[in-house]
Structure 1
Amino acid sequence: MYRIGIDVGGTNTDAIILDERHQLIHAVKSPTSLDIKTGIESSLRQLLQEAKIDKAQITHAMLGTTQCTNAIVERKKLAKVGVIRLGYPATASVPPYTAWPKDMVDILSGSYSLVQGGYEYDGQLLGEVDEEEIKALLDKWRNHVESIAVIGVFSSIKNDQELLVRDLIQEEYGEAFPVSCSSLIGSVGLIERENATILNAALCKVIAATTSGFIHALEEEGIKSAQVYLCQNDGTLMSIDYAKQFPILTIACGPTNSIRGASYLAQIKDTMVLDVGGTTSDIGVLQDGFPRESSVAVEVGDIRTNFRMPDIISVGLGGGSIVRVSDSGAITVGPDSVGYRIGEEALVFGGNTLTTTDIAVRLGLAEVGDKSLVSHLEEDFALAVQAQIAAIIEQAIDKMKTSSEDIQLVLVGGGSIIIPDQIRGVARMIKTENGNVANAIGASIAQISGQYEQIYIYSREPRESSLKDAEEKAVKQAVLAGAVSETIELVEVEETPLAYHPENATRLRVKVVGKMK
């Protein structure tokens, strides 16, 4: 019984095979192709050819992909979105798409309608949904929108109106038509939650192409009976059907895969992790084996959102980062990189561009390429570049620390050879075997998660019953994502009292995890 894990990074696509005891059988690393799909196919083909295992014994295949992130950043392959906000006229002063980049609004078409409905902050009815109004709007939008986002005012307290509108849409357009409900995606805060829901709706075509492409690549290699999963950004997995409902949850899954992989390789559940790739370095924090979640609103493609995101700092430093010296003698490292062209452009590979990998080879930190090609570099110069690299990492680590104490750091990633052995603020640095493919390992060993968040009013519904309700709904989400119900366990409960609410309201977030089918 084998598992395949593939993680697509900005520079390399990593692919690995694990056996039933989670032992690494084989790993390959190949350049990420411009269309990504080709890179996945070539990595998978190379992996299977070299591993020489029985393909019929492959039971699971996992993919961590940057496709959705790239689609938002590059403004490509996005669907035309219709936005229905339940809350007219109370919310008319701040319409949808407020503060969005104009090019993004143009691509999504910017179609929106403020209709009757919504709730007050205490759960009291603001307005009833007018079904005829919704149906008239759908007649108007027919064949003009490819996906619809439904956002109700204070739907984080009660979401029955959003679900009613979703049913009306699918009655009119068919069960397969993609509908995104904000109460299932974002947190408290109308505009940020609405923004996240619109982005989720816009990604329906991207995720459909990604999932079908991955399944096709597996079938082309003779893998036809494996369960297929995509990686989420909380370090867990989700089924193909669940991913099609919530494609936005794949954003930033790459760093979380690395963090989870680092935890598994180092056998440590609480630590800081530095993942160095070819273009960027990502720093995150492990808490009980899972990535620490960001507590602030996060911008995705210059759009402010509040959906679940890992607390990650990314800096423009990697194995392919370009080293420059100004006329005044000042040294700069990155943020630009030769990326997947490092095998052609770095000095040690016969190229003409000075990179951080060349510096590592010159200082004897790595044995790649031809070290004689960097022998002309002065040692003092190489040490000065290394000091600059250390300063970049030290500054990023300081931003992630929650105290002044020195931390333990697990170092992973193919570009980790450029990191000095001594970093200020780091008491202990751990380098693991197979750390260069920690991201693909993290994808392969992940569990299935379910998460539910809602505002509960404890004066109306006691805390115990509120916790039970939230856990049941989180379990339901985990089952939908592909977890075996008997294996699901509660791993996190977060309660945030809302001070302005007169009836002891609390934002309750519950997370569960279980084993995959």
Structure 2
Amino acid sequence: MEYRLGVDVGGTNTDAVILTEKNEVIAHTKSHTTPDIQTGITNSVNKVLQNVNFDKSAISTAMLGTTQCTNAIVERKNLNSVGVIRLGYPATLSLPPFTDWPADLVKALHPLTATLHGGNEFDGRKISQFDDAEVTSTLEKWRGKVSSLAVIGVFSPVNDEEEKRVAELAHQLYGDNFPVSCSAAVGSLGLIERENATILNSALNQVMQRTADGFINSLQQAGVSAATPYLCQNDGTLMSIDYARQHPILTIGSGPTNSIRGAAYLSSLENAMVMDIGGTTSDLGVLVNGFPRESSVAVDVGGIRTNFRMPDILSIGLGGGSIVRQQEDGSVTVGPDSVGYQIEDKALCFGGDTVTTTDIAVRLGQAQIGDPQLVQKKISLEFAQKAAAKIKAMLEESIDNMKTEAGDVDLLLVGGGAIVAPQTLKGVGKIYRDSLGSVANAIGATIAQIGGEYERLYTYDKVPRKEALADAQQKATDQAVQAGADGSTAHLVSVEETPIAYAPGNTTKVKLKVVGSLHIAGQ
């Protein structure tokens, strides 16, 4: 018998679960997140292992979902200095890199930029002739001044040969291990948004190195040395540690997607709305055919407009630790600030002096946590009812905002803060809860498969549709294998074909996704 270990690091709690080969949960735990990620992971792993009696070497795989990359961008901390090479001279000079970026984030990256010859039109024709010597000269000037490189070619998703050549030249000058991000492997069509995503990917290199090393060290300290480690992507799938080191931006948004996948597993539903209520926020997403619905619009990450794939998630400042206040006019506010991982020190029901949504749930009999007597003494029934009405209204509004059609939806309610939600909500047909819902995120991380995605413009008048789709599926499969999938198990899960208006030759944007089982060495 082999087992799998899943860990999810949130802003408030770090959850860990152990599953069997048949996806049966045999142990789970929840502990507070620590300022340094490694200590919190180690604590949770050690704690969950105390609940099992098999040899640790039987754990074959370990999965980590983390918000470290998201936090680094939001907090502007621990980011690489980035050199940005755009291939598109002279056509793209009117809008230079970092246009419309927050000044504090630009400052944190210490960037150097250059727009050089190269790039393509949408049909593959050259904008200008790529020049090896020009690239080499630029890289020589930057030697020792940047710690990572972002390379962006105009329409590189159509032809990425020039980007790959820049990476090759950079490795010749800076060494094989120097981090280079090529935009065709990061973002979608649309130069500026793809460029932004690629720059962020480059900036996150050392954050991901520290996260990956911390996870591996935590596993070794806990004695789980035989497990193959994986990180969670933001589409509900996994990637190998090596792939994650090259594509750290793909972890952004992975927390909510883990919860969505975990909720799907617990409910056996493939289409529903999912709400994950944590300690600080409530994240709302949509389950479509067993996977999170992807956002169809450009997504802001830390104030930067990007177009790499992101789940369609709505987050509101409502969690189990959200602070509840009465205003001078008698109204009640909830959040967005939260006591977070300090809830057991600050909430009334634990002997603290701060009114939280958890205290409201305890006062109204929705939860049996801490000492109810402490809450009853300090919170009147009228105040608790006003707070509950506010919580209900906030949840109902967020559900309504995520709907794409009229009518009631099924809601899967998960997360440690789910106790603050009422039993009924307007616009919801049935609410599904599960005793393991508080660790749905870690479950989602543990059951995930490896995914691969490919997007490109095809001219169907030149390349027959059947041939184009087969090519795209092979490229997506290749990407999944690079991320750690067993190629023989890779199968198609979604295809999107979008005709491009005004483009000649029946030009169509094809976006295709495959998933496969983990490739375990020796099997």
- 2:359 is matched with which residue? 358
**How does 1:109-120 map onto structure 2 within 5 Å?**
109-120=110-121
3-state DSSP class of the match of 1:10?
coil
- 1:477 is matched with which residue? 479
- 2:139 is matched with which residue? 138
CA deviation profile, 1:81-110 (whole Å, cap 9, x unmatched): 100000011100100010111111112112
CA deviation profile, 1:352-404 (whole Å, cap 9, x unmatched): 00010011011111000000011132223212211100100111111110111
CA deviation profile, 1:145-188 (whole Å, cap 9, x unmatched): 11111100111222111112111211222221111111111111
Q: How many aligned positions are there?
A: 517
3-state DSSP class of the match of 2:328?
coil
**How does 1:66-81 map onto structure 2 within 5 Å?**
66-81=67-82
Could you state the TM-score of these two structures normalised by the residue count of structure 1?
Answer: 0.99
Instruction: Indicate conservation of the 8 Å contact 1:97/1:110, yes or no.
Output: no
- 1:420 is matched with which residue? 422
Deviates most, 101-110 or 49-58? 49-58
**How does 1:211-230 map onto structure 2 within 5 Å?**
211-230=212-231
Report the CA distance between 1:36 and its aligned residue. Answer: 2.0
5+ long unaligned stretches in structure 2: none
Report the CA distance between 1:496 and its aligned residue. Answer: 1.0
**How does 1:89-128 map onto structure 2 within 5 Å?**
89-128=90-129
Structure 2 counterpart of 1:449, from 443, 448, 451: 451
3-state DSSP class of the match of 1:3?
strand
Report the CA distance between 1:201 and its aligned residue. Answer: 0.6
Report the CA distance between 1:465 and its aligned residue. Answer: 0.9
3-state DSSP class of the match of 1:53?
coil
Report the CA distance between 1:52 and its aligned residue. Answer: 3.4
What is the rounded CA distance, in whole Å, between the counterparts of 1:381 and 1:237 in structure 2? 45
Give the counterpart letter for 2:34 in structure 1: S
3-state DSSP class of the match of 1:372?
helix
Report the CA distance between 1:500 and its aligned residue. Answer: 2.5
- 1:210 is matched with which residue? 211
3-state DSSP class of the match of 2:44?
helix
CA deviation profile, 1:42-74 (whole Å, cap 9, x unmatched): 111212223333101010000001111111111
What is the rounded CA distance, in whole Å, between the counterparts of 1:419 and 1:155 in structure 2? 47
What is the rounded CA distance, in whole Å, between the counterparts of 2:311 and 2:98 in structure 1? 24
What is the rounded CA distance, in whole Å, between the counterparts of 2:380 and 2:325 in structure 1? 14
- 2:370 is matched with which residue? 369
What is the rounded CA distance, in whole Å, between the counterparts of 2:54 and 2:343 in structure 1? 31
Task: State yes or no: 1:299 paired with 2:300.
Answer: yes
- 2:262 is matched with which residue? 261
Instruction: Indicate conservation of the 8 Å contact 1:285/1:292, yes or no.
Output: yes
5+ long unaligned stretches in structure 1: none
- 1:288 is matched with which residue? 289
CA deviation profile, 1:392-433 (whole Å, cap 9, x unmatched): 011111111011101110100000000001110001111112
Could you state the TM-score of these two structures normalised by the residue count of structure 2?
Answer: 0.98
Structure 2 counterpart of 1:382, from 384, 396, 400: 384
- 1:192 is matched with which residue? 193
3-state DSSP class of the match of 1:51?
coil
- 1:463 is matched with which residue? 465
Give the counterpart letter for 1:41 in structure 2: T
Give the counterpart letter for 1:396 in structure 2: S
Give the counterpart letter for 1:167 in structure 2: E
3-state DSSP class of the match of 2:51?
helix
What is the rounded CA distance, in whole Å, between the counterparts of 2:131 and 2:304 in structure 1? 30
- 1:496 is matched with which residue? 498
Instruction: Indicate conservation of the 8 Å contact 2:118/2:131, yes or no.
Output: yes
CA RMSD of aligned residues (A): 0.9
- 1:509 is matched with which residue? 511
What is the rounded CA distance, in whole Å, between the counterparts of 1:176 and 1:381 in structure 2? 59
Instruction: Indicate conservation of the 8 Å contact 1:319/1:355, yes or no.
Output: yes
3-state DSSP class of the match of 1:384?
helix
What is the rounded CA distance, in whole Å, between the counterparts of 2:12 and 2:30 in structure 1? 10
3-state DSSP class of the match of 2:370?
coil
What is the rounded CA distance, in whole Å, between the counterparts of 2:166 and 2:460 in structure 1? 28
What is the rounded CA distance, in whole Å, between the counterparts of 1:25 and 1:512 in structure 2? 29
3-state DSSP class of the match of 1:158?
coil
- 2:413 is matched with which residue? 411
Instruction: Indicate conservation of the 8 Å contact 2:37/2:214, yes or no.
Output: no
3-state DSSP class of the match of 1:275?
strand
What is the rounded CA distance, in whole Å, between the counterparts of 2:465 and 2:169 in structure 1? 34
What is the rounded CA distance, in whole Å, between the counterparts of 1:367 and 1:220 in structure 2? 35
Instruction: Indicate conservation of the 8 Å contact 1:7/1:440, yes or no.
Output: yes
Give the counterpart letter for 2:7 in structure 1: I
- 2:346 is matched with which residue? 345
3-state DSSP class of the match of 1:513?
strand
Give the counterpart letter for 2:363 in structure 1: R
Deviates most, 319-328 or 495-504? 495-504
CA deviation profile, 1:105-151 (whole Å, cap 9, x unmatched): 11211201000001113321111210000111111111111111110
What is the rounded CA distance, in whole Å, between the counterparts of 2:380 and 2:130 in structure 1? 73
- 2:158 is matched with which residue? 157
3-state DSSP class of the match of 1:50?
coil
What is the rounded CA distance, in whole Å, between the counterparts of 1:145 and 1:260 in structure 2? 38
